[in-house]
Chain A
């Protein structure tokens, strides 16, 4: 009897705090494995490296909660970042560049959202096609070569406020805003409603199509922010920037507890999921694990984290 109760308590504890326990365990193990791990500079370094993935993961989270996904974020990231860089270098106005980059993200989000919601095409297909279109447009514009004139654009991705890198501050503010939107706004509740049960949401007079477009716009803004930070950090308009980032963002979101079926997800879980993704590479590099082995270990850790999470949720239900 006591054993059964103990098991249930553990399951409840793990269900609520599972992803945080995994993060804590990883940090303890990493600190034991490498004396360089638990230093302020390394932790800041991991967070700064993870910035684009965290922002994309927040975007993926909003979409996943509302029952959609976006495979074009890698290309959207490069497009918005390069657009921001070009407007900045041509106008000399950093704010104008950033605003134009975010505008590009919004346009891409609107196009993805409208085709998905109003034409009923599955988001998987729409965004896959959009990825090809955007990547092609980038190649046409850059001729496949990195844009080398950057002036002071690197200040966003490489700069500091006091000892804290600017990208980390941007991520912290974004995390609070994302948390607030999901917990305290009507829009956040509508995302959960349409992802959980679109028919019920429709019956409750929610304009499902409009909410889908809104979720893509939010994701587009976050993608553009990630793009501006990444291009600025790289200090060049690399046309292949962001290649493969879409799947990292989706994996981070799922590790963070969002459901691919929609209606479930939290901002804190997503943040932790993306940080776990960044930590895996960092610690494997610090302990000198060979690149080939890293791929296996990374895949296994992602798999183990998701299996643990799914099992704990099953026990709860």
Chain B
């Protein structure tokens, strides 16, 4: 029996490896081929919908522009990110693109890679130790938080009661977006009352549980400000599952993901703010081209504007997501 099971497992492993090789073959169909430049992209965490969208966008845009892009996953772990950078260096790529983990200090590892004449680009967030040490394409979290808070400040009624759902405590993405909420809404509109705030760790289910409890506690909530679209959608589902009318409640999120845009189109989420992964990917590839052909020799920073999405421009965004294959 043991032998049969072991053989089955080994056969499964072999099939898995073959499948893996097969999928690599498919990658080369998407625009890569012999003579292409080799790029390694290290994502902060492929479990995160935005990080995954950004990684896939870089792969797609890179493929169209003559790069073989292989993706590595930093698994939201600073130590893993260092490990991935070292692994990436060992594959001798032409260029490495990295989405940093704000909790990891990787400048020394990057400098070590640069000594091997492999250029490194940082995308999405600035490098925590020294934002000007490497070429960077960013859309910063403070701006995202501030933009959506400003939108809420314009729309919320006088003397509105709001609650805030934050991301993972201790991460700069959380603290920076929260700083944006403070300055864009709470400091700008003194009549607005913050009833409570909780960390829902960017998770829809945790946001739903927090909202369930708030619905028991507070009689009047006018606005729910969330550090991600997933949490805003969790808050909406909480109203639905409690059979509560939420027509007078405004839900605000961040990221501009397909799921959030569909909710705005359905008239549920009020607004979100887009970190445009596709534009970020295009700028990254442009920067990679510049570094490779020698036209970029210093460490420039390209900042992508945060784009507020609301009922006025939602159809345009739905089309945008359809074009990128994120909405059927």
Interface residues contributed by chain A, number (CB under 8 Å): 43
Contact indicator A118/B5 (Cβ below 8 Å): yes
Contact indicator A233/B208 (Cβ below 8 Å): yes
Q: How far is the CA of A150 from the CA of B154 in the complex (A)?
A: 33
Q: Is A36 in the interface zone, CB < 8 Å from B? A: yes
Interface string of B212-252 (1 = CB under 8 A from A): 11111100000000000010011001001111000000000
- Given A36-B217, A39-B216, A114-B5: A144 in contact with B47 (beta carbons within 8 A): yes
Q: Is B53 in the interface zone, CB < 8 Å from A? A: yes
- Given A240-B47, A285-B213: A148 in contact with B259 (beta carbons within 8 A): yes
7 smallest beta-carbon distances between A and B, as pairs? A144-B52, A285-B213, A158-B241, A291-B199, A42-B216, A36-B216, A45-B212
Q: How far is the CA of A309 from the CA of B9 in the complex (A)?
A: 42
Contact indicator A143/B203 (Cβ below 8 Å): no
What's the minimum C-beta distance from A291 to chain B, rounded to whole angstroms?
A: 4
Q: How far is the CA of A238 from the CA of B202 in the complex (A)?
A: 12
Q: How far is the CA of A240 from the CA of B215 in the complex (A)?
A: 25
- Given A148-B258, A230-B205, A233-B208: A45 in contact with B213 (beta carbons within 8 A): yes
Q: How far is the CA of A238 from the CA of B207 in the complex (A)?
A: 13
When C-beta atoms are compared, the residue in chain B nearest to A242 turns out to be B205
What's the minimum C-beta distance from B149 to chain A, rounded to whole angstroms?
A: 20
22 contacts between A and B (CB under 8 A): A135-B47, A143-B52, A144-B48, A145-B258, A145-B259, A145-B326, A160-B243, A165-B241, A234-B234, A235-B240, A236-B233, A239-B47, A239-B49, A240-B47, A243-B47, A285-B210, A286-B213, A286-B217, A288-B217, A291-B198, A292-B169, A292-B199
Chain A 29-56 residues near chain B, CB threshold 8 A: 34, 36-37, 39, 41-42, 45, 48-49
Q: Which residues in A have their C-beta under 8 angstroms from that of B241?
A: 48, 154, 157-158, 165, 233
Q: How far is the CA of A213 from the CA of B326 in the complex (A)?
A: 40
Q: Which residues in A have their C-beta under 8 angstroms from that of B48?
A: 144, 240
Interface residues contributed by chain B, number (CB under 8 Å): 46
Q: Which residues in A have their C-beta under 8 angstroms from that of B47?
A: 135, 139, 144, 239-240, 243
Q: Is A281 in the interface zone, CB < 8 Å from B? A: yes
Q: Is B299 in the interface zone, CB < 8 Å from A? A: no
Chain B 273-328 residues near chain A, CB threshold 8 A: 326-328
Q: Which residues in B have their C-beta under 8 angstroms from that of A238?
A: 204-205, 230
- Given A119-B2, A233-B237: A241 in contact with B205 (beta carbons within 8 A): yes
When C-beta atoms are compared, the residue in chain A nearest to B205 turns out to be A234
Q: How far is the CA of A37 from the CA of B213 in the complex (A)?
A: 9
Interface string of A152-171 (1 = CB under 8 A from B): 00100110100001000000
Q: Which residues in B have their C-beta under 8 angstroms from that of A236?
A: 204, 233, 259
When C-beta atoms are compared, the residue in chain A nearest to B241 turns out to be A158
Q: Which residues in B have their C-beta under 8 angstroms from that of A282?
A: 213
Q: How far is the CA of A240 from the CA of B327 in the complex (A)?
A: 19
Q: Is B209 in the interface zone, CB < 8 Å from A? A: yes
- Given A119-B2, A119-B6: A235 in contact with B237 (beta carbons within 8 A): yes
Q: Is A99 in the interface zone, CB < 8 Å from B? A: no
Q: Is A146 in the interface zone, CB < 8 Å from B? A: yes
Q: Is B196 in the interface zone, CB < 8 Å from A? A: yes
Q: Is A115 in the interface zone, CB < 8 Å from B? A: yes
Most chain B Cβ neighbours within 10 Å, of A48, A157, A233, A239: A233
Interface string of B27-69 (1 = CB under 8 A from A): 0000000000000000000111101110010000000000000
